[in-house]
Structure formats: C-alpha cells, structure tokens
C-alpha cells in the first residue's frame, strides 16, 4: 500500500526532480503539493510545480501556494544561480503551460 504524502517545497531544479521521482514511485501516493518561497519567489515556485505536473500529465494533484518568505530569516534570492524562474531556464527552454486551475484557494498551511 502506497504511503500518502503531501510535498512541501520550493521547486527549482532539485525539487522539480523530487516531484517527478515522488509521482513515479509506486511507494508514494502524492495527495497535494504546497509551495513556498526558496531560491526564487513563491509565485515562480508555484508555477514551476504546475509546469512539472503538466509535463507529467498529472492534473489530479492539487497545489496550494504557501509562504512568500521565511518565518524567521530574511528572504534569500538565488536567481543568479538557478535562473530567474528557479529552473535554470534559458530563453529557448520548453516548459508546458502551467495548469493554473490546480491551485487551490486555501492557503497551504490550511
């Protein structure tokens, strides 16, 4: 029986791979994904999550936008390393269009 999980992440390159691996794993049942600001802002992280889900044709996973900054630390931006969108995108990189309908209206903490 697959373990039911919720992923809470800031999808850039590493977390995008984590989503792919989790969704392809027979041991895991991903119920939802929540996003937070990390190496780039939460809007980019949410859009990156939606792009990965579109790439995998997984329109059944709800996504909830979470915190736009750390609770105790100052925000950190690593766009100079990870690219403006956090996925290291070059101008000619292909990403599927994000499915904005997957984003729930509930805050991720709820």
Residue pair 12/48 in contact (Cβ under 8 Å)? The answer is yes
pLDDT at 66 over 70: yes
pLDDT at 92 over 60: no
For the entire predicted model, the pTM comes to 0.87
Higher confidence at residue 63 or residue 93? 63
The helix (H) or strand (E) run that includes residue 8 is strand 3-9
Dihedral (CA of 54, 59, 65, 69) sign: negative
DSSP assignment letter at 101: G
Confidence category of residue 70, pLDDT binned at 50, 70, 90: confident
Look at residue 74 in the predicted model and tell me its pLDDT.
85
């Amino acid at each position: 029986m697959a373990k039911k999980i919720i992923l809470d992440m800031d999808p850039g390159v590493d977390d995008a791979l984590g989503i792919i691996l989790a969704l392809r794993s027979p041991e895991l049942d991903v119920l939802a994904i929540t996003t937070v600001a990390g190496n780039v802002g939460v809007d980019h992280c949410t859009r990156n999550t939606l792009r990965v889900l579109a790439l995998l044709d997984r329109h059944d996973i709800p996504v909830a936008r979470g915190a736009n900054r750390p609770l105790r630390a100052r925000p950190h931006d690593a766009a100079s390393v990870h690219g403006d969108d956090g996925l290291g995108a070059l101008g000619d990189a292909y990403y599927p269009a994000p499915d904005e309908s997957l984003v729930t209206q509930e805050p991720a903490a709820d």
